[in-house]
Amino acid sequence: MTRMTAVWRKEFKSYWYSPIAYIVITVFLVILTWFFFRGFYLVNNANMRDFFAVLPWAFLFLMPAVTMRQWAEERKSGTLETLMTKPLSEWEVVIGKYLATVALLVVILLLTLPLTFSVAGLSQAGLDWGVVFANYLGALLLGMAYLALGGWASCFTQNQIVAFILGLAIIFVLMVLGLPVVTLFSGVFAPLLRYISIGEHFTSLARGVIDTRDLVYYVSVVFLSLYLTVRTVESRKWG
């Protein structure tokens, strides 16, 4: 645990030593706030529905940007072999790196709270905080799944841009599987595609209902992605 914590601390600090975290967070908050308030006063209804509706698509670009250097940079600089010769298991390194990205995700979500409180202050009836909590839980789980998938994608290349595009492509496919335009022509496989769809489970949580099936789904995606990352790192660390 101590060794994994050391990896987590090193990785988390590295985001703040470079402009990556600052650029990603700033761009994300500016774009998301702009999209939200662009139609906020037009509908004359103070709620967070539109904010959380656009969040999965904003995360689609944000999370691969966070994870693109996770393993690609290690391979490009040749430090992967050095890292793996230390008394660390692959699982400790993978989980340590992953938890560092999750910590950054938590920071990003916390920075959206002023927007939420502002909307609550503008709303005459106030916000349904149970629904808001379910949406934030869904956003956290969705982001964690994106990060795990993006980290796995980063294992396959030394180029950060390629890692970003690959991560984005994997997540995008899992996003669109549940869209009506896809399930309409999938026949008997439609229920399966909707369950596999990563966005479908966020939509379920966004309704304010915390279903154990959605929780199990996201935990399964994270675990499977981390497992695949470990196996990929093991196969490529000497490559």
**How many C-beta atoms surround the C-beta of residue 28 within 10 A?**
20
**How many C-beta atoms surround the C-beta of residue 116 within 10 A?**
17
Residue 181 confidence (pLDDT)? 65
Can you give the residue range of the structural domain that contains 11?
A: 2-236
What pTM did the predictor assign?
0.89
Summarize pLDDT for 69-98 with one digit per residue, the tens.
888 877 777 666 566 666 778 888 899 999
Summarize pLDDT for 141-192 with one digit per residue, the tens.
999 999 999 999 998 888 999 999 999 999 999 998 877 767 666 677 778 8
**What gap in Å lies between CA 153 and CA 144, rounded to an integer?**
14
Summarize pLDDT for 26-47 with one digit per residue, the tens.
888 888 887 777 666 555 556 6
Overall number of domains in the chain: 1
